Structure 1
Amino acid sequence: MSDGILEVLRPYLNAILIGFGGFLVAFILSQVVSRVLARSLGPVWSRFIASLLALALGAWTIKLILDSTGAAGLLVVIVTAITGAFAIGSERIAGDLLAGIGIFVGRTFSAGDYVVIAGQEGRVSNISLFVTTLETVNGDEIYIRNAEASGGTVINYSAHPGHLISVKVPLPVDQDLNVAVEAIQNVVKDFAPELSGKPYHEPTVVVETAEEGYFIIEVRAYMTERLDSGPEKTRLFLLAVNAIKEAGLSLGPVE
C-alpha cells in the first residue's frame, strides 16, 4: 500500500524538487552575475540584468516541471501561483515589474540623480525591477514601488547641471538700494565658477517688494547639484549681507 501511495505522490514530489532546485539555482546565479557585472556596468544595471536572468530561469523551471511531470506538475504550478497571488499580490508585483522595465528603458532618472518621486525628495541610490530607493538629506532611505515612481510626476534636478537656490535679505528703505544691489551683484557673480558660461546660470538680484520699512532683496544663484543645499544657501546669504555692510550701508531698523 505504501508503494502505491509513493507512486501517486512521486509526480508531485518531483515537481516540488524541480521547482525548489530551479529557483535556488536562479537565486544563486543572479547573485553571482550581479557581483561580476557590477565592476563593469555598475550596481544598477548589474542588478537589472541579474533580475532578468532570474526571471528567465524561473520561467524555464516552470516549463521543465510541466514537461517532466505533466498534469501533476501543472497542478503544483497552479496551486503555487494561486497561493502566491493571494499571499503577495501578483498584480502589484506585475505592475512594479513592468514599471521597473519602463524606468530602465525610458531613462527618466537614474542612480545618482537628485529627484522628487511620488512626493518624496532625495538622491536615487538604487533602482531594481520592483523598487526605487531614495537617500534623503537626513540619511534615511525611502523605498518606492516602481508603479508609484513611474505613475506620477517626476522632477529630476540632475537632468541639467546646476540647481537654483535663493535667499532674501531685508534692507531698510532709508538705505541706498542701488548701491546695495550693485554690491551684491559684484560678490555673487562668481558664486559657482564651475557653472560660469552656461546659459541661464548667472546669479541675479531681484527686488520686487517692500514690507514694513524694508526692501526685500532676493538673491538667486545656481549651485552644483548636491543632496543638502543648506550650506550653500548660508554662504550665499552671508555674501550678500557682508557686501551690503562693506558698501557702508546699514541693515539695522529704520530710525
Structure 2
Amino acid sequence: MVGRWLISFAIRALTGVLTRRNFDATLQRYIANILAVVLNVVLVIAILGYFGLETTSFAALLAGVGLAIGAAWSGLLGNFAAGAFLIIFRPYKVGDYVVAGGVEGTVVEIGLFNTTITAPDNVTTIVGNNKVSSEIIKNFSHNPYRRVERFAQLAFGVNPAEAIALLKADLATIPNVMAEPAPDVEILDFNERGTLLAVRPYCHTDHFWQVWFDTNRLIAEKFGAAGLPAPRTVHDVRQVE
C-alpha cells in the first residue's frame, strides 16, 4: 500500500512538472503510463525479495520477456518513438496541409503510433510515424502563403508582351489572390509550339485549388476573347533531292 501510494505521488509530481513545462497532453499521458508500469514492476520485485523469494531468476525472466516483446513489437516501438519526437518537435500540427510519408493531404490526427491524413479526394490514410519521420516532410501550411504554378502556351507570332499584359490586368482580381506578393507573369521558355509563359499568383494554402482552377479559367477566357490563335506544333519539312 505504501509502495502504490509512492508510485501515485511520483506520477502526480511528474505530470505536474510536464504540465508546467507545457508538454503535450498526449505525451504526458503516455509518459505517466510507462512510468507507472515500470515502478509497479519494481515494487512487485521488491516485495518478493522482502519475503525472501529469489528475485534474480524472476528479474532475468522478466528481462527476457521484455526483450522478446520488444523484438516482436520493434515496428510498433519505432512508431512510438517517432510519434514522441513528432509531438515534441512539431514539424506539423492538426489541420496543416502536408506531404508526409509519401501521402499528401490535411492532418487529422497525430497519434503516438501513426498519423491520420485526409487527401484532397476525401480518402483517409493512416501512416506509421516511423515512415513519416524517416522521409521528407513538406508542410504547405507553415508559411502564410504559397505560389500557384500555372503555364500559358502561346502560338508562334503572338507577342509575349501583349499576352503578359492581358493576363496581369485581371490576375489580381481572382478571389483570394494576394496583392503582395503580386502575381507574376513572365516568359518561362520557348518550345516547338511558341512561347511558354509562367503564370504565378500567390494565395493561402486553404484557397490553393480554387485559385488554381480560376487561373486556368482566366487564361482560357482572356486568350479566347483576344482572338489569340491556338498553339500548334510546327514541323520543318524539307525535300532532299
Structure-2-length-normalised TM-score: 0.71
Question: 1:111 Cα deviation (Å)?
Answer: 1.7
- With 73-82 and 170-179 compared, the bigger mean Cα shift is at 73-82
Q: Is the 8 A contact 1:180 1:249 kept in 2?
A: no
- Quote the residue 1:206 is aligned against: 186
- Which of 78, 82, 87 is the equivalent residue of 2:72? 87
- Quote the residue 2:136 is aligned against: 153
The correspondence of residues 141-180 of structure 1 with structure 2, limited to 5 A, is 141-180=124-163
- Which of 209, 212, 231 is the equivalent residue of 1:233? 212
Q: Is the 8 A contact 2:97 2:107 kept in 1?
A: yes
Aligned identity (percent) is 17
Please give the per-residue CA displacement for 1:175-234, whole angstroms capped at 9, x wherever unaligned. Answer: 33322210100111243547333xxx32111223233343222211123213x9444322
Q: Equivalents in 2 of 1:119, 1:85: separation in Å?
A: 27
Q: How many residues are paired up?
A: 211
SS at match of 1:125: strand
Amino acid at match of 2:46: D
Q: Equivalents in 2 of 1:176, 1:194: separation in Å?
A: 26
Amino acid at match of 1:113: D
In the alignment, is residue 249 of structure 1 matched against residue 227 of structure 2?
A: yes
Unaligned runs of 5+ in 1: 1-17, 19-40
Please give the per-residue CA displacement for 1:127-184, whole angstroms capped at 9, x wherever unaligned. Answer: 2222222222232233333233223322211110122222222222233332221010
Pair 1:141–1:67, CA change in 2 (3 A): farther
In the alignment, is residue 123 of structure 1 matched against residue 106 of structure 2?
A: yes
Question: 1:235 Cα deviation (Å)?
Answer: 1.0
SS at match of 1:195: coil
Higher percent of residues as helix? 1
Q: Equivalents in 2 of 1:156, 1:189: separation in Å?
A: 25
Pair 1:211–1:47, CA change in 2 (3 A): same
Root mean square deviation of aligned Cα: 3.4
Q: Is the 8 A contact 2:153 2:231 kept in 1?
A: no
